[in-house]
């Protein structure tokens, strides 16, 4: 059985165990669920986009 360790979410900044990792950046399951439910017209959408920009994707990968 693998023991999970807490990581800081790039969206909310809280330490959580459950979530996803995208290019070595952790997003907790609560923020992931909220992002999926957020409409593009919602003011919170821009907040999520800004936080996701922290993920440095390599060009020419």
Q: What are the average pLDDT values for consecutive 10-residue runs of the chain, which has 61 residues?
A: 80 96 93 96 94 73 51
12 in a structural domain: yes
* Parent domain of 42: 5-51
Q: How many CB atoms lie within 10 A of CB 5?
A: 7
Q: What's the confidence (pLDDT) of residue 56?
A: 74
60 in a structural domain: no
pTM above 0.95, yes or no: no
Return the SS3 of 22: strand
43 in a structural domain: yes
Rounded Cα–Cα distance for residues 14 and 36 (Å): 19
30 in a structural domain: yes
26 in a structural domain: yes
21 in a structural domain: yes
Tally of domains within the chain: 1
């Amino acid at each position: 059985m693998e023991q999970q360790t807490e990581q800081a979410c790039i969206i909310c900044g809280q330490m959580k165990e459950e979530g996803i990792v995208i290019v070595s950046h952790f997003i907790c399951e609560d923020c992931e669920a909220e992002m999926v439910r957020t409409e593009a017209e919602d003011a919170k959408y821009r907040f999520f986009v800004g936080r996701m920009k922290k993920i440095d994707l390599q060009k020419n990968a």
